[in-house]
Chains A and B, each alone.
Chain A
Amino acid sequence: MTMNRRSFLATTAAATAATGTPMILRAQPKEYVLGASLPLTGPFATAGQLVAPAFAMAAKLFNDEGGIAGTPIRFVTEDSGYVPQNALNNYQRALASEGKNMIGYFADSTGAMKLIAPELKGENARIMGSTSFASELADPATHPYQYLSGPTYQSQFDILLQNIKNEGGQKVAFIFSNTEFGRDPIEHGRKTAEELGLEVVLEESTKAEGADIPTHVTKLAQSGADHCILQGYVTGVWPQLIGGARQFGLPVKFKGTFWGMEKLIADRITAEAGPFLEGYEGVMPYRYFYDREDAPRYQQYAELSKAMFAGTPLENYMSTWAIQTMCGLEIAMKAFRDTAEAGQELTADNIAETLANISDWDSGGFFGGPVSMENNAIGTGRVYGYNPEDGLFTPKSDWFTV
């Protein structure tokens, strides 16, 4: 007998049927699995180690609420070292080990999302959230199973530019890291600025680490910009740029996007180098954790944090990075639960459809009000400013929806 594709598949299917039928036919699994890759080692280990406890908290919270229609959930988290290939391997391993029980995956970078995206087809499709706000991902036509738990970087630029316009700014500089992350919103930002009547006087690309600060600051000074948006940095470069500009005596107002808005980083910079982040502002999709009034979900987190992380710095403060992860998990859980409640099977297609149709969702305090998914992203945020004296980011604008 010659082996063609059909006979190969038939043989394989027969073998699988002989060995694994009970697993496959089980309609309701004993538990649902959500996989995750986190940068527990490598350059972003700090972020990964801060985010990891959120999964323990999420597991307890969601299971105490009854899981998904009474079926408990379990998280399988693995280290990626912030290497997309490792995240892909983790995803494939989780898929191979957990099979249909795994209904969602959480990745830790834009690179991982893009690398895994084409794998999400047919039987291998799973709903996927991540730490990324990459604009390319917010497209249900090309990435039907992936979603963003906030606004894209392009939307964040729109919010910042609108804010600059409202403040009477005229000349804007964009300084960004020479990475995919850094370059993501630049072209779009240029167009938005033009529409708003703002002049983009400088587009300066820097290294993601160890940038030549004096050169970039000199160019910024020469450009005559009154506002400067920083994009594509996490812990480094952006504080040095602001510090350099302040030493130079530049009155430029600096603004950042989500990854440049973490209080822990701003506090550390202030403690090490003085209060030069005074006046630094940026866009944040979520409320900060200390802003818990009328935020029942945050209050629940706070109680759980006190109980679960007593004696650690996590007891009283949840980083914006962990909040982003929790928001991503909440969105996924809402989609899972709504799909299950509608009596549908938890397939990636059904979940993706439910997720794409989330509208007027009361998140319990993450955002300024009810939000809706549009193009698999939530286009809302507001501008916060940092005050080195009390170490808090406080609102500087109303909520924008873009």
Chain B
Amino acid sequence: MINANLKSSYAADERVLNNRYKQAFVYATILGLALFTLFGNDYLILIASQMGILLIAVVGINILTGYTGLVSLGHGAFVAIGAYAVTIFGNLGAGVIPAGLMPFISVPLAVALAAAVGVLVGLPSLRVKGLYLAVATLAANFIVIFLIEEDLFAPWTGGMVGINTNVPNLLGWELDTKREMFGLIAVVGLVSLLAAQNLIRTRIGRAFIAIRDRDYSAEILGISLLRYKLMSFALSAAYCGLAGALFAYFYARILPEQFELALSLNLVAALIIGGMGRTMGPVFGVIIVVMVPEVIKVLFGALAGDSAGAGQLRAPLQQIAFGVLLVLFLLKEPLGINQIVDRILRAANRWPFARG
């Protein structure tokens, strides 16, 4: 039976979740996450938490790269700003602001700071595009890490040796276990994803897409490139800042080297693998980037054992296997996993008729 998503009004078409499949999916996800938070085993909670933090940052990159078409290789810097800012604000405010209120003040401040720096880093996007912009944003990563490591700021940032982070306290509820932290990460992650989905149906989101598809056409249509490109940078940096804040809350200590180029590249890789410019793209990308090395590890472990001798052979092989898998994904499906999933869902939806 062919199903269509019949909409009889513009309002129905404009809803964030504009068909019942999407609504059902979101409700099922909420239920699944709630059950998982309560009953998931420690190992899976740990991996899921790492995925959740990465997901929020990749959703940010998706707004910039996927929807606005601006490439950035420096977004690790905004994660760093979020992580350090929430820790520094937390330390500065300790004793002045009640601990239970601190995250409600320090996280928004950290996110705002990341967004502000995002605007600054986004300025070159008005002049340069593509690879040139990627190189320009790359500088942001190096400058931010350099400043964090500088002796001048070491009293606040801890310099090269890093700084211990604070345990988040939500109105007296100390989230001092990974499971409790996962609860927070899951809620924030889901809200972030829905907010991104919402953004794209608004005037701002449509302006981003217009810029991505042809920027000078967008400008002729009356979209201010200055305003919207910088807004895109600010929003994506804010998302990364939020991810950074959760990162700092999740781990007991942060070091500058955790936010170097490798993180920025990882974010972009996750987006490309998952599918750019699609809400679920970051979700699929993050699952692949985090889970594939884990699965490879488990598989190799099952085949070769987990002794040190096997580990010696396993470690390089794992990296090679992961690299080959990424290349295969890019060759076979450059539009990302989202596209593969779309095809499967479409075929299922139209079954037993043409797959199309």
Q: Point out residues on A near B: beta carbons under 8 Å.
A: 4-5, 8, 11-12, 15, 19, 36, 38, 40-41, 49, 52-56, 59, 75-79, 81, 83-85, 88-89, 92-93, 95-97, 99, 111, 114-115, 117-119, 136, 179-180
Chain A positions within 8 Å of B311 at CB level: 38, 40, 52, 77-79
Instruction: Indicate if the CB atoms of A5 and B173 lie closer than 8 Å.
Output: yes
A59 to B255, CA, bound (A): 33
A28 vs chain B, min Cβ distance (A): 21
Specify which chain A residues have a CB less than 8 angstroms from the CB of B219 in the assembled complex.
none
B160 lies within 8 A of A179 (CB): yes
Q: Which residue of A lies closest to B309 (CB)?
A: A56
Closest B-chain residue to A179, C-beta based?
B160
What distance in Å separates the Cβ of B94 from its nearest Cβ neighbour in chain A? 16
Q: Are B255 and A118 in contact, with the CB atoms below 8 A? A: no
Given known A40-B316, A41-B319, A93-B46, contact A75–B307 (CB-CB < 8 A): yes
Interface residues of B in 1-51 (CB under 8 A from A): 38-39, 41-43, 45-47, 50
Residues of B within 8 A of A (CB): 38-39, 41-43, 45-47, 50, 160-162, 164-165, 172-174, 178-180, 183, 251-253, 255, 257-258, 262, 297, 306-309, 311-312, 314-316, 318-319
| Min C-beta distance of B209 to chain A, whole Å | 35
Whether A12 contacts B38 in the complex (CB less than 8 A), given A76-B306, A77-B308, A96-B46, comes out as yes
Which residues from B are CB-within-8-Å of A179?
160
Task: Pick the most buried of B43, B180, B312: most chain A CB atoms within 10 A of its CB.
Answer: B312
Can you list 25 A-B contacts (CB < 8 A)?
A: A5-B173, A5-B174, A5-B180, A15-B38, A40-B312, A41-B319, A53-B312, A55-B307, A56-B309, A59-B307, A75-B307, A77-B306, A77-B308, A79-B311, A84-B255, A93-B46, A93-B47, A96-B41, A96-B178, A97-B42, A97-B43, A111-B257, A118-B253, A119-B253, A136-B161
Indicate which residue in A11, A19, A75, A180 contacts B161 across the interface (CB closer than 8 Å): A180
The answer on a CB contact under 8 Å between B38 and A11 is yes
Closest to B318 in A: A79
Q: Which residue of A lies closest to B263 (CB)?
A: A85
Q: Does B46 lie within 8 Å of A19, measured CB to CB?
A: no
Q: Report B-chain residues with C-beta under 8 Å of the C-beta of A56.
A: 307-309
Residues of A within 8 A of B252 (CB): 117-119
CB-CB nearest in chain A for B251: A88
Query: In the complex the two chains form, is B257's CB within 8 Å of A84's CB?
Result: yes
Pick from B39, B41, B46, B172: contact of A92, CB below 8 A.
Answer: B46
Known: A55-B307, A115-B251. 18 other contacts (CB 8 A): A5-B172, A8-B173, A15-B39, A38-B308, A40-B312, A41-B315, A52-B308, A56-B309, A85-B258, A93-B43, A96-B42, A114-B253, A114-B255, A115-B255, A118-B164, A118-B253, A119-B251, A119-B252
Within the complex, the shortest CB–CB distance from A289 to chain B, in Å, comes to 19
Bound complex: CA of A233 vs CA of B104, how far in Å?
A: 45
Contacts of A84 in B (CB 8 A): 255, 257-258
Which 10 residue pairs spanning A and B have beta carbons closest together? Answer: A118-B252, A79-B315, A55-B308, A40-B315, A96-B42, A96-B43, A5-B173, A77-B308, A77-B311, A52-B308
For B309, list chain A residues within 8 Å (CB).
Answer: 52-53, 56
CA distance A238 to B43 in the complex (A): 43
The CA of A40 and the CA of B47, in the complex, are separated in Å by: 22
Nearest CB of chain A from residue B76's CB, rounded to whole Å: 12
Closest residue on chain A to residue B311 by CB atoms? A77
Complex-state Cα separation, A282 to B217, whole angstroms: 69
Question: Across the interface, which residues of A come within 8 angstroms of B173, CB to CB?
Answer: 4-5, 8
Q: Which chain B positions have C-beta within 8 A of A8?
A: 173, 180, 183
Which of A36, A78, A99, A115 meets B253, CB within 8 Å?
A: A115
Instruction: Find out whether the CB atom of B161 lies under 8 angstroms from the CB atom of A114.
Output: yes
Complex: how many Å from CA A180 to CA B256? 12
Q: B172 to A19, Cβ gap below 8 A?
A: no
The residue on A at minimum CB distance from B37 is A12
Query: Which chain B positions have C-beta within 8 A of A119?
Result: 251-253
User: Complex formed: what's the CA distance from A115 to B250 in Å?
Assistant: 12
- Rounded to whole angstroms, the CA-CA distance of A310 and B262 in the bound complex is 39
Q: What separation, in Å, do the CA atoms of A179 and B160 have in the docked complex?
A: 8
Chain B residue at smallest Cβ distance from A80: B315
A41 touches B316 (CB 8 A): yes
Whose C-beta in chain A lies nearest to the C-beta of B159? A180
Q: How far is the CA of A79 from the CA of B316 in the complex (A)?
A: 9
Residue among A41, A88, A99, A115 with the most chain B CB within 10 A?
A115
Does the CB pair A49–B162 fall under 8 Å? no
Q: Which of A75, A96, A99, A111 contacts B308 (CB 8 A)?
A: A75
B residues near A99, Cβ cutoff 8 Å: 42
- Set of chain B residues within 8 Å of A111, measured between Cβ atoms: 162, 255, 257
Contact partner, A77, options B39, B41, B307, Cβ 8 Å: B307
A49 touches B161 (CB 8 A): no
Q: Please, which residue of chain A has its CB at the minimum distance from the CB of B319?
A: A41
